[in-house]
Each structure stands twice: as structure tokens, then as C-alpha cells.
Amino acid sequence: MKSTLILAIIVSISFSGAYAQHLKSANGHKNNPYYSNTDTKHLNVSNAEWKKILPPTLYVTAREQATERPFTGKYWNASAKGTYYCAVCGNKLFRSDAKFASDCGWPSFFEPVGKNSVIYRNDNSAEMHRTEVICARCGSHLGHIFDDGPPPSHKRYCMNSVSLDFQPDGR
């Protein structure tokens, strides 16, 4: 009886590890040793290293502050329940219950999951004054924040879909 229980626990742990590795590979993170949905340690990785391991579109957006064209990203009008993570490092960023329909063409949220999940930086590029939102773990560009969102925060975190990974609830 005791050995059966131990065997069941070992199989369960092995399966969950294999399943996590499958998800990592399925989401395109197979070659990214820094990607983790649980590690919160700050990363100090050079852009040269990121360029070797990230898909080109993600690299240009996340590391060179590019922006997707509006209404083209996979999450701009998504409504499934779950959690959004940084596509570069796996840091937990937003919950779907903070997502709202916006006419801007990018996924929009009124708040991040926690005050330490994102950081802010002044952005005076493109002849505009904006506030850039970056991942607190890896420093990757996610998008910008504006003061025209819904209650309770009245903020609109306007994010690039390519910079986000989504995991539905129940996984």
C-alpha cells in the first residue's frame, strides 16, 4: 500500500514535470533557459543573448521597443479566463479579469497582477511623451500605460500581444 502511494506520487511528479516541459516547448520557449512562470529572480541577460534565443518578432518588440500594428495581435480581442505572462521570461503580469475591450487595437488591462510585476520608464520616442511598461523580471518592453482606462484604476495598460503568453485557467 505504502509503495503504491509512493509510486503514484513519483509518477504524478514526473508527469507534471513532463507536462510543464511540453507547455514550455509548445509555447516556443524550448530554447529559452530563462523562461519560468515561477522564478521571480531579476534577470540580467544581454540583448546579444536574447537575440540568440528569442523569435525575431518577439526580440524586436521586447528588446528594441517595437510595436505591433493595431488589431493584428493574437490577444487584442481575446476573452478567455486565465493569466498573461511575459513572453520573454515567463513573469506573471496580468489576469484576464483585469482585461477590458478597448478600441485601441491592442490587449488592454486596467491593472497588473502586482505592484512588482511591471516597472515604468519615461518614453519620449516617436515625438510623443508616454510611459513605457516593462517586465520587472527581464526588462523587456511590453507596451505603454495611459490614463484613459476604466475604473477602478482609470489606467489602460496597452500591451503588445507578442510580448505576452497566455495560460487559460484550469491548466
Instruction: Give the separation between CA 152 and CA 120, rounded to whole angstroms.
Output: 20
Instruction: Give the separation between CA 142 and CA 164, rounded to whole angstroms.
Output: 8
- Amino acid found at 129: H
Catalytic position from the list 89, 135, 138, 158 = 158
158 is catalytic: yes
Among 116, 157, 140, CA closest to 43: 140
- Own/partner pairs, 24-27, CB within 8 angstroms, 24+ separation: 27/165
Catalytic site residues? 158
